[in-house]
Structure formats: C-alpha cells, structure tokens
Amino acid sequence: MYQHHSIQQFHADIAQQKTSCLSVTQYYLKNIEDNKRLNAFVTVFANEALERALYLDKKFASGLPIGKLFGVIVGIKDVICYQSHLVTAASKMLQGFNSLFSATAIEKLLAEDAIIIGSLNCDEFAMGSSNEHSYYGKVRNALDENRVPGGSSGGSAVAVQANLCMVSLGSDTGGSVRQPADFCGIVGLKPSYGRISRHGLIAYASSFDQIGIFAYQVADVALVLETISGADNFDSTVSNEPVEPFSATVHQPFLGNIAYFPEMLNHPSLDPEIRAAFFVLIDDLKQKGFTIKPIQFDYLDFIVPAYYVLTTAEASSNLARYDGVKYGHSTEQSITDLTSFYTKNRTEGFGKEVKRRIMLGNFVLSSGYYEAYFTKAQQVRRLIIDKTNEVFEQADVLLMPTVPSPAFTFGEKSNDPIEMFLGDLYTVYANLAGIPAISVPLSTHSNGMPFGVQMLTNRFKETTLLQMAQIIYQG
C-alpha cells in the first residue's frame, strides 16, 4: 500500500525503484473506487491516467529529463478546464459539456509530467461554504461523514484528505480553498490575485477568483505554486512578477514581525477552543523569538457585506452567458417565445444557491440601488486595501483564525444563508485585498474535528508566507 508523505519522498522512491508511476496510479484508482461514498470525484480519468503513467515510466527508464511534478497524482476542481474532458461547475446548467481547451494551470502541470486523475466535486459554480450545493450531491468529510468538508472546493480537500490524490487544485473566491483545508485538516493556499492565470477557470467573481492548491505538506504546495504561476498572454489580469523558487526557499529560516487583529479574536462567533489555541500559538511564537503585536482593524463588520455585494454583482454578470442557446442547459418543454425559453433554461439549469446570488447581484446593480450598495461596497474595499498596506508597513505576516468554528454537520446551516455567510468572516478579507493567504492545521477540537490557523502576507510575498507556514506546521 502506498501512503503519500511528500513529493520529495515520492521522487526519492521512484529514483530508488521502490515504486513506479503505474503502481502508484493503480493504488490511487483503487482508493478512489473504495471511497466512492465520499463523493469527492465528478469524473475519474482512469484509462488516461494509466496510459500516462506507463508513458512516464518509460520516459524515466530511458534516462530522459523528467519534470518537477513527475508522476505526481493531481485532482482538479470541476471549474478548471481540461481539453476534451467534462467540466460542469457541478451544475445541471453545464451537464455533459466537454471543454474545448485547457486552463493554463493544467498545461503547466502536464508540461512538468503530472498525472491528472480526475475532476472533483464542488459547490455549484463555486458558490457555497459546505459542498451541499452540488448537482452531484454533497461531498462527505472523511474524518466524520456526517459533517461537511467545507466549500466550495470540498471535493478537492477531501481528495487529499482521504489520500485519493497527492495534491489537488481548487478555486478561492472568498475562502473556498482555505476553509475546506481547515475542515479537513490539510494545507490550503490562496495565492495573490494575479499570481496564477485564471485562463480556463470558470468565473464566479472575476476580481476575486484565484486558483488555489491543496496538499498535506507546505513544501508540496510550494512546488505546485512554483510550477503553475507566472505570466500568461491569455489573462490580462495575471502578474508579470517573477516566479520565485518557492520549493527551494520554503525551508529557509524566517524571523520577521507578526501582527494580529484583536477585533477578530474578540468576535462572538469565534469558538472558544479555537481562540484559546490561537493564543497558545502566539505564546509559542514569542518564545521562538518572533515579535508579535496587535493592530487595530476597524472594518470587521463591513468585510462580509462588502464581499457579498461585490461578488454577487460580478456573478450575475458572469453567469448571464448561460442561456441555453450556444451552450448550457436547454429546456425540453415546448416554448413559443424567447423570454420564456431563457427563463426555463436558467430556472431548470441553476440550483437554489446560484439563483439566490444572481438575484442579489442583479438587485445591487439595479437602478436606484447601485450607488447605495455596489458603489459603497467598492469604497469599503478601497479602505480595506489601504488598511492592508498600512498593516504590512508594520509587520511581515498577519495571523488570524481560518474559520470561526470546526466543520459542522450537514443541514446545520443550510437553512440560514446569513449564518453560512458569516462563516466566511476570516477568509474573505484576503480576497477583498488581493493578498495571499494559507491555512495550515493547528489543533483538534473537543468534538474530534481539526481546525487550522491562517497566515497572510502582502501581495506577491508568497515566499514569506510559505516560510512562516512551514515554521508553524511541520507536517
């Protein structure tokens, strides 16, 4: 039985001929089959993965140069396009749709000899915090199958958690990588906005979306980030910042200044056990020589409202293209006029949560409410960005909880969207500011579920972020 520890160890085993790409791929395919009840995968690319494994084994045996991710088994969220493969955003709207091209991130994975084993379940169009809003049904947390894995990238988190792949890609618009990583007890990274090309990522909210990475080890995340980052002519928002050798620097020592927001730790929604563990961590870091100071943050109550006003506005625009004409669900009912045709297609094709966000987005963009909601939310975002710049003039790393509480049970919050939205309190900040953030496991709650801690740095300071994460979490 193969148990993945790290990519570095896997490559050492390959070099010593203790294993092969084929045998490891076969192991993962069997594990996926044995854990179908978790519902992590939408589609498994079994035959293709086996063929690629054989090709890579032959490549290695012939002495040809191999890529950074040689033989690494990768799962991809069902919002990331892979040419000639099913991509549906976990929605009936795109049922049966095969992508016409590959995302830039996918092309970079393949260029470095990775094996893509399948597409992973998620909340429909990446809208949700529990993975209860998928056309394919809910994903189950492998540690407690009665609890949610987090969302929207729940399948991506569970696939790593349950050892169904070595690493996985998700997307993070307001915490959709970090929150499920927290709930599942693994590492989850949201890079800076623009660090990774969004070409081939199905859009939810374009000024927030970013492809993220799940793994058990910080070093594995660093290597994948190094591989898929960089400039791209297909994405005008991607940065031309040089891609640093994250995998080479992740273990280097870091002794910088750390800050935290007391307002976030005093918030009534924060679980007492998570709060206590956070202060234990602060004391431990001080003993290691770090300078840690509190910094006042006055915008806590405005973060979630501003986020949901802006993201739903962008979502209503992005999802307008799904009308069932060129692509998307097309009703089978007899329709005589165009308006009814559009209405039926979208009513049948979209799920409840997606409809809720489209309607909210249309409302805040509507005449008479645009200035009161959308413009005001943009102004709040500007204030948050300015405050963030001030914070990182005083500190190198910002520390905060990832989520207010551990993984909850199915149905516990699904009937109260406001309570569900407030669960994003600590994660949406990074997306509003466009800065990188990572969640690593911190401790275990008295209910038996893991919870993590979140670190944030200034834009394009992923090297510092990964070094700090490695210090806190020695996985």
Q: Can you tell me which residue has the tokens 């395919």?
A: 29
Residue 152 designated active-site:
yes
Alpha helix segments (H runs only) across 90-237:
104-111, 154-161, 178-184, 218-228
Pairing of strands 115-120, 73-77: parallel
176 is catalytic: yes
Sheet strand arrangement including 115-120: 41-44, 115-120, 73-77, 167-171, 211-215, 187-190, 437-444, 450-456, 397-401, 257-260, 291-294
Burial annotation 295-330 (CB, 10 A radius, 16+ → b, else e):
eebebeebbbebbbbbbbbbbbbbbeebbbeeebbe
77 is catalytic: yes
For helices 352-365 and 300-318, give the axis angle rounded to 10 degrees.
100
Q: Say if CB 85 and CB 49 are below 8 A apart.
A: no
- Which of 91, 119, 129, 152 is flagged as catalytic? 152
Q: Which DSSP string do the residues of 267-329 spell out, in sequence order? A: -TTS-HHHHHHHHHHHHHHHHTT-EEEE---S-HHHHHHHHHHHHHHHHHHHGGG-SSSSSS-
Q: Write the DSSP symbol of residue 37.
A: G
Tokens representing 265 are 């730790």
Length of the chain as a residue count:
475
- Asked if residue 85 lies in contact with residue 43, where contact means CB atoms within 8 angstroms, the answer is yes
15 CB-near residues (< 8 Å, 6+ apart):
none
Catalytic residue among 99, 119, 134, 176: 176
Contact 57, 21 (CB under 8 A): yes
Q: Is 144 exposed, middle or buried (0-12, 13-18, 19+ CB in 10 A)?
A: middle
Per the DSSP assignment, residues forming a β-bridge with 115 are 73
DSSP string computed for 46-77: HHHHHHHHHHHHHHHHTT----TTTT-EEEEE
The 10 Å Cβ neighbour count of residue 365 is 17
Give the Cα separation of 262 and 275 in Å (integer).
Answer: 11
DSSP codes, 402-459: S-SSSPPBTTSSTT-HHHHHHTTTTTHHHHHHT--EEEEEEEE-TTS-EEEEEEE-ST
Q: Is the dihedral angle over the CA atoms 272, 275, 281, 286 positive or is it negative?
A: negative
Residues serving a catalytic function are 77, 152, 176
